[in-house]
Amino acid sequence: MYQQAKYPFDYLINESYSLLARLGQVKPFSMTMPMVKAASVSDKALKEITALLEKGKAELRQNVQRFIRITQTAKNASSRTPIDMDAFQSGFTILKLKFNNILGDLDIFAAVLSQRAEYDVGIWTSALDVLAKDGLKVVEGLATTPQLIVFLDRGHGAAIRRARTRLPSGGLNPVGVIQIPRERMIGSGIASSLIHEVGHQAAALLDLVPTLKLKLKDKRKKSANPIAWQCFERWISEIVADVWSLGHLGTTATMGLMGVVTLPDYFQFRLDLKDPHPAPFVRVLLSCAFGRRLFPHPQWDRLETLWRTFYPGRGLSKRVIQTLEAIEAAIPAFVELVVNHSTKETKGQKLLTLLPVRERQPGRLQELFRAWRQKEQSLYELPPALVFAIMGQAKSDLHITAAEENDMLTRVMRYWAFSRN
């Protein structure tokens, strides 16, 4: 009878030691990463990820050891005082859940780091880290910018787990983790998706979305055309990220966006206010409108005409047509509101002046492309986003083939990867 009363305590103590043993098997990535140096993430990113995981492990180890001591004390006292075992079982269950949350954090970063061992893919993703960093460069004087790391995954769209957001363990993510579709490797379109996701991180650092939402809500209340401003308010997070990509890449961003949202008609005109993404048809029109404002050039009319040719909108309901007309009528005022927006974090700088718009003007990109063709300009030393802007402009102008673009970008990305460390 005495042994039977103590058995639940022994069971929980043994399971706790088992948990400690399994926790000991969670090794730092520096001991398990199989990639070559050129494919690795930055030393700072690795240090921050390691520190996060080691902190979580240390806290859990202390909690488990404390639980073992408390359980052992209760076991010794159980012959004299009745003990409620439900509380001890609940305590152990919480420890297990915390352990699984630590493993959840581990899996997020393991998916990124283990991929760096893949032939060529590791070099590409390392180079994309460099491109992502360049996409955040204009924020450096305004906020403390996090490290960004990239990995490839299946699927149609890109995504970001922003730095300083909560991880499964409850800790703050020390780095931005950007997921890019494999199908977009390698071409200038990859930059469109990547810098869009960087734009989400930049918008969070500069408080762009909440402050723009307040302005858009005010516009909606005062406007005779409230549905358009309601749509813009709902979609502003994705639109700001699109503008960030556009400001760094020029027409490369719009053409890359067109590649992503080339979908059947059914999806093109879905005006769903539950979805933070604009209807694809409208999203491309917005990109062209912002492009005209940032980079005046006839190419935007050409791209918009092309898009309308692909999606003439036959058979749309009267309600959808009226909503689309209302949105298009409000686009010019909306564009001005966004490009002239500033926040306390931008220190008075408007979004228009914050972005590297001057260096991305079509004429300048075309001039740099000609200089490269004539071997008067090396692309290797130019900012990564500018290189993608040059290649995308040349592709839009039909001055370079897809094969030539792929070959050049592959070579320059390898250079960035080998030069970063």
What domain range includes position 13? 2-117
Residue 1 has pLDDT above 80, yes or no: no
Same domain (yes/no): 230, 326: yes
Cα separations (Å) of 177 from 159, 256, 400?
8, 21, 32
SS3 33: coil
The CA distance from 214 to 245, in Å, is 23
Question: Does the residue 65 lie in any domain?
Answer: yes
Q: Is residue 304 part of a domain?
A: yes
**3-state DSSP percent of the chain in helix, strand and coil, to 5:** 70, 5, 30
- Domain end marker among 73, 102, 117: 117
| pLDDT of the residue at 34 | 62
Same-domain check for residues 222 and 112: no
Segment among 32-36, 248-252, 347-351 with least mean pLDDT? 32-36
Give residues with Cβ within 8 angstroms of 63, minimum separation 6: 95, 98
Contact 396, 299 (CB under 8 A): yes
Query: In this predicted model, which residue has the larger pLDDT, 80 or 71?
Result: 71
Question: pLDDT at residue 87 above 60?
Answer: yes
Domain identity same for 358 and 247: yes
Share of the chain above pLDDT 90, in %: 56
Task: Identify the domain boundary among 77, 95, 117.
Answer: 117
What is the three-state SS of 221-253? HHCCCHHHHHHHHHHHHHHHHHHHHHHHHCHHH
158 within domain boundaries = no
Question: 186: cis peptide before it, omega within 30°?
Answer: yes
Q: Would residue 184 count as lying in a domain?
A: no
Angle, vertex CA 60, rays to CA 90 and CA 150, nearest 5: 120
pLDDT over 80 at 49, yes or no = yes
Whether residues 273 and 403 share a domain: the answer is yes
* Per-residue pLDDT tens over the stretch 136-162: 999 998 999 999 999 888 766 789 999
pLDDT at 115 over 50: yes
CA angle 38, 44, 46 (to 5 degrees): 70
**What residues does 149 pair with on adjacent strands?**
177
Same structural domain for residues 209 and 109? no
- Segment among 68-77, 82-91, 140-149, 282-291 with least mean pLDDT: 82-91
Is 234 part of a structural domain of the chain?
yes
Question: 229, exposed or middle or buried, with CB in 10 Å at 0-12, 13-18, 19+?
Answer: buried
**Do 302 and 401 reside in the same domain of the chain?**
yes
Residues 112 and 212 in one domain: no
Give the pLDDT of residue 235.
97
Query: Does residue 104 share a domain with residue 224?
Result: no
- Confidence (pLDDT) at 285: 98
pLDDT-derived band at 114 (thresholds 50, 70, 90) equals: confident
Does residue 267 sit in the same domain as residue 414? Answer: yes
Number of structural domains found in the chain:
2
Does residue 99 form part of some domain? yes
Q: Structure tokens of 419?
A: 């030069």
Using 50, 70 and 90 to split pLDDT, how confident is the model at 2?
A: very low
- Where is mean pLDDT largest: 90-104, 119-133, 386-400? 386-400
Lowest mean pLDDT among 83-97, 187-201, 240-254, 388-402: 83-97
Mean pLDDT calculated for residue range 18-40: 74
Pair (263, 360) in one structural domain:
yes
CA angle 385, 390, 394 (to 5 degrees): 145
Q: Is 326 part of a structural domain of the chain?
A: yes
- Distance separating the N- and C-terminal Cα atoms of the chain: 66
pLDDT value of position 135: 96
Average pLDDT (400-417) is 90
Choose one of 117, 142, 158: the last residue of a domain: 117
- Indicate the pLDDT class of residue 258, thresholds 50, 70 and 90: very high
Closest CA to 241 of 186, 299, 302, 178: 178
Of all residues in the chain, the percent with pLDDT exceeding 70 is 94
Give residue 31's pLDDT band: very low, low, confident or very high (50, 70, 90).
low
Q: Do the strands 159-161 and 176-181 form a parallel or antiparallel pair, or are they unpaired?
A: antiparallel
In this structure, is residue 263 part of a structural domain?
Answer: yes
Q: Between 259 and 153, whose confidence is greater?
A: 259
Is residue 76 within 8 Å of residue 68, measured between CB atoms?
no
Dump pLDDT digits (tens) for 279-326.
999 999 999 999 999 999 999 999 999 999 999 999 999 999 999 999
Residue 83 shares a structural domain with residue 231: no
